[in-house]
Homo-oligomer: A and B are copies of this chain.
């Protein structure tokens, strides 16, 4: 079982930096030349004994650069701690692609997951040299303004946006899974399965699944993977408990009600980390110890969860990166494909062997 840890500073750091989503580049800080000015592509060129054009090509993975040259350039980049200027990139790029981000009706934009995803996305888009324009969207959930490409967030059954955009022959990418359209999603089925298998391995047989509306593709698939794993192990799969609003508070209320009605699962799989937080609180309030009396597994691996939660991790930065890949493919009119982001279990302190 995977026990991937975040870099230690991630959960304890109390400071932030603007554009901290960019931290994935792991640049050693925006360095400067000895003379104090910002280090530019010219410095790299000089250091690698090539022209700036070559540096640019190497940097952007353009074809037609000798492997050795490329290596030399990359070495210089690393050594100097060169960090390309996004504004300059954006400005020089001749493709004012207007990307419109549309969230599903009723979808909350201020939830942590979406916030992080958007940060990574904007960052990646900007450093990719895209021109991102403001594209308002109508109250009917359908994008009104023109965009060259739409990003649909919050996949769910009967999403009106998909048919709408297909009819208009406008390219779009679904962040979520759906066959036949360009889409990216975490492998939700696999995630559900991982959670179940982990708990089964620990001896749990009475496992509650607490989730959001099953019209959401993500919740549906997580439940499906979870159910399949239990079925495979010949363990009884009860009905999942549904909270229409997948928040910590709603999960708390739902789980508390269940506990008060006498339910005593030995483990619970919450469909999001936030919901897991609610479960944990409800368990504590019911006098249950975690993981002694109850094991809890979440989904997402969000920062700032507040306790030591075993969870199914999906890498949001990677999700954004794949989204941008698909975006390029869409612009290049490449064949439609559905991408999956692998997920894996992160074992922490909220799960233990069944007593």
Residues on A lying within 8 angstroms of B by beta carbon are 9, 12-20, 22-23, 27, 29-30, 38, 85-88, 90-91, 96, 98-110, 112, 115-116, 118, 121-122, 125, 131-146, 151, 153, 245, 247-249, 252-253, 277-278, 281, 285, 302-304, 306
Could you tell me if A103 and B14 are in contact, using CB atoms closer than 8 angstroms?
yes
Complex Cα–Cα for A143 and B18 (A)? 12
For A90, the chain B residues whose CB sits under 8 A away are 87
As for how many copies of this chain the complex holds, the number is 2
For A252, the chain B residues whose CB sits under 8 A away are 249, 252-253
Report which of B19, B132, B142, B146 forms a contact with A132, defined as CB distance below 8 A: B19
Could you tell me if A137 and B29 are in contact, using CB atoms closer than 8 angstroms?
no
Which of A99, A137, A302 has the most chain B CB atoms inside 10 A of its CB?
A137
Report which of B98, B107, B249 forms a contact with A249, defined as CB distance below 8 A: B249
Could you tell me if A103 and B139 are in contact, using CB atoms closer than 8 angstroms?
no
Could you tell me if B134 and A29 are in contact, using CB atoms closer than 8 angstroms?
yes
For A96, the chain B residues whose CB sits under 8 A away are 38
Report which of B17, B104, B135, B142 forms a contact with A134, defined as CB distance below 8 A: B17
Complex Cα–Cα for A28 and B253 (A)? 43
For A277, the chain B residues whose CB sits under 8 A away are 249
Which of A88, A109, A151, A303 has the most chain B CB atoms inside 10 A of its CB?
A109
